[in-house]
Copies of this chain bind each other. A is one copy, B any other.
Amino acid sequence: MTTAETEINERPWEELARSIETGDAAIVKAYLDTLPATDQSLALDRLSDENKQAVLAILDPEDAADLVSLLPDVQAIELMEDLLPETAALIIDELPSNLKADLIGEMEQEDATAILNEMEPQAAADCLRLSKYEDDEAGGLMVTELLKYPVVWTGAQVISDLGDHADEYRDYDVQYAYLVDDDDRLVGVLRMRDLLLSKRGTPLAENMISNPLSVFDTTSIEDLIDLFDRHHFFGVPVVTQEHRLIGVVHRASVEEARAEQHDSDFLKTQGIVGGEEIRSMPLLVRSRRRLAWLSVNIVLNMVAASVIAVYQDTLSSVIALAVFLPIISDMSGCSGNQAVAVSLRELSLGLVRETEWRRVWLKEVSVGIINGIALGLLIALVSYVWKGNAYLGFVVGLALCLNTMVAVSIGGLVPLVLKRFKVDPAIAAGPILTTVTDMCGFFLVLSIASALLDKLQ
């Protein structure tokens, strides 16, 4: 790839639409090939529904599959559902087996059935079986495209098979071939290199690695990450409980799944819950999903603010306090979120156990004391300069200082507690944190102020 800067087309979908009008697969393909992958998905995203279907129908199924594989899953599924089942079946058939299964598995039942009916019975059965796996287990991450040979074969037979199927094996990882017995059970792994070094007539069993490492189709992504951390493998074979070979998980698929998990965790912490959002999705779907999260939050907010209502008299005596309430609420949220972020990350890196509450609390509260004092002094100074009342400075400074310690303690611990109780910390930690720190912050400011009321007026 000579990475010469290509001229940026601001609206590639317009040119794509024009190429579709020609109805000529070669022209469409040639234009798409000039675009970077991200622009291909952008251009496709912005086409009219009619043109989206047209472009996939015009292209060769293989090229259409390449295009579909660039899209986020939700978009790819929507597109496949809108196509004629026979067109969709041809395209899906060209996708790698794990993506194929993902799309079929997440489609509306009815559309999936229509598409499967258009596929070869064997291919449809395979696809349906794969689609039952979760995305975060080996069965959902594996590809079924692999080199599999009877262990009784010789090197010469393998070499002849490779020659006969060169085209089919084009996208395969051919570094390893997997050797099975009569019952399709994995008995060995053959490195291509060892095959090269051996005499062609030698039985494969003499050159294979016996008792190779394998994982079950139900092995979790966490165990796969662990495995690839400990070994330099590019891939690991997947077997059923009966030890039948059914696929191979590549290191890159595990890394990709890990990136997607982080992505979805990020969206959750920011309040996009219940599935990814893409702005070309229908307005009401986007609105409803966001609102579900917001309505829980507004109730929690009202609960927190009710603390203020209790202290209305204090507040109306010293109205300046009202200026500081949102500052203390917001700053405690910030401090607490820092602790949440560090805990989430340490949990995912395995640097902390869910049970180590004491350690996390000690580590957090020591940061909280330093930062609480620094922030407290700053806000005390500002309020003293503004109102000339040292007691007001004392009240807000002390409240912010104490509440910072509370916030980092809660922020650090909440993800551990949630994880222990099998609640997704990415979704729940933020709302719990802000509700508790808001209540506590409002209470600290207003109760300390109530105690010193005669000095403040």
Chain A residues within 8 Å of B, Cβ to Cβ: 1, 3, 10, 36-39, 41-42, 45, 66, 69-70, 72, 96, 159, 162-163, 166, 169-171, 173-175, 191-193, 195-197, 213-216, 219, 223, 225-227, 229-230, 232, 234, 236, 250-252, 255-256, 258-259, 262-263, 265-267, 269-272, 276-280, 283-284, 286-287, 290-291, 293-295, 297-298, 301-302, 304-306, 308-309, 312, 315-316, 319-320, 322-327, 329-331, 333-335, 337-338, 340-342, 345-346, 349-353, 355, 359-360, 363, 366-367, 370-371, 374-375, 378-379, 382, 386, 434, 438, 442
Contact = CB atoms under 8 A, between A and B. Distances in A.
A434 B266 CA distance: 18
A313 to B, nearest CB: 9
Contact of A252 (B170, B255, B333): B255
A36 B215 CA distance: 15
A342 B442 CA distance: 32
Given A38-B226, A262-B263, A325-B322, A216 B3 contact: yes
Contact of A259 (B162, B255, B267, B370): B255
A311 to B, nearest CB: 9
A29 to B, nearest CB: 13
Number of chain copies forming the complex: 2
A330 to B, nearest CB: 5
B305 A312 contact: no
A2 to B, nearest CB: 8
Contact of A41 (B283, B331, B350): B350
7 contacts: A1-B236, A3-B215, A173-B175, A174-B191, A270-B341, A287-B371, A291-B370
B315 A197 contact: no
